[in-house]
Amino acid sequence: MTVDDMPGHGNDHKSVMRRETVDVFREFPGGIFLDGTVGAAGHAESILDAIDSIRRFYGIDQDEEALAIALERLRRFGDRVELIHGNFRSLDKLLPAGSGGRVGGILLDLGVSSMQLDRVERGFSFRNDAPIDMRMNRTSGKSAYEVINEYTEEELVRVLREWGEVRSPKAIARAIVRERGVEPIRDTGRFSRTVSRRIPERTRTKELARIYQAVRIEVNDELGSLREGLERSVEFLSPRGILAVLSYHSLEDRLVKTRFREWAKGCICPPDMPVCGCGILPSVSLPFRKAKMPTQDEIDRNGRARSARLRVAIRLEGERDPS
């Protein structure tokens, strides 16, 4: 999730694959649109400008700072727009009663925003020294401080291995436990120095990024949110409704790709069964088999777009079982 050029927010924040994302919704069937990660509203503004048939636009985000920017940016669209503080995993609780099954378009732009990365005090980046926080929603939940200072060594190994695919998770977890035994690790500078001692210099930047990603995913339960959010999203889509997901690392993209393919296939019977016995029909179609990727020109202009993958599913007509 990235942030566009905004007064007071620098000039290096760009919404990734903005044109491609808007084009995905050209066949929007009308009615309600939901941006589950509205951020500073870069994609939202472009979609509202391009699609007149959006009757009601809901923008959800965990980050109150981002919502404040989005509010100013989308003010010109009047009462078509409503912004909601929360996590898209709870669509069923956040959206007004009666919205289920009537949403024509949903966008999920995953991951951490460049605004969050660049705000030193948020503690997301290893490039700055700041209190180690990493919460997307700063009003609740555990911070990176709790993960780093209170998790057992075994729990730290799991986090580093599963969420960062870190090369030497045991050695790094051991170093963290040893360092915090002297004094709690309170800032990103000390945390980075601690783990860097166990990383070869030639791969240090890449491995630090993996380690910070792992802790951030654990703090915000990003994969859990994505799993639940995908399920809620397909339930809320109207027939011909469009679900588009922008992901930025392989763990997210793999989860989205797998679930989309399962919904598009439907039947879960063993391959050797001559006749389907489960009765599960496809709930979506996939307009393109492979993920769309940013152009080289966009990558040249915005290096943070390099890892982006855009996948799309379209809800089929009639009643379907999305389970």
In CATH, what number is assigned to the domain containing residue 283? 3.40.50.150
Task: Give the residue from 220, 249, 267 where a domain finishes.
Answer: 220
247-298 pLDDT, tens digit each = 999 999 999 999 999 999 987 888 878 788 777 889 999 999 899 999 999 9
- Per-residue confidence (pLDDT) for residue 137, from 0 to 100: 80
Task: Give the residue from 220, 255, 279 where a domain finishes.
Answer: 220
Domain that holds residue 77: 18-115+223-315
Taking the mean position of all CA atoms in its chain, how far away is CA 261?
19
- Per-residue confidence (pLDDT) for residue 201, from 0 to 100: 86
| Token pair for 274 | 């001559």
CATH number, domain of 181, equals 1.10.150.170
Neighbouring C-beta atoms of residue 52, cutoff 10 Å? 9
Same domain, 237 and 111: yes
Task: State the total domains in the chain.
Answer: 2
Same domain, 232 and 197: no
- Per-residue confidence (pLDDT) for residue 117, from 0 to 100: 54
- Per-residue confidence (pLDDT) for residue 114, from 0 to 100: 59
Low-confidence ranges of the chain (pLDDT < 50): 1-12, 120, 319-323
User: Could you tell me where the DSSP H helices lie in 98-249?
Assistant: 114-118, 144-150, 153-164, 169-182, 188-196, 204-220, 222-236
In a domain, 5, yes or no: no
CB 36 within 8 A of CB 322: no
In a domain, 37, yes or no: yes
Task: Give the residue from 220, 249, 274 where a domain finishes.
Answer: 220
- Per-residue confidence (pLDDT) for residue 323, from 0 to 100: 44
Give the Cα separation of 240 and 47 in Å (integer).
18
DSSP E strands, 11-88: 31-35, 54-61, 81-85
39-75 pLDDT, tens digit each = 889 999 999 999 999 999 999 999 888 899 999 999 9
The amino acid present at 7, given as its one-letter code, is: P
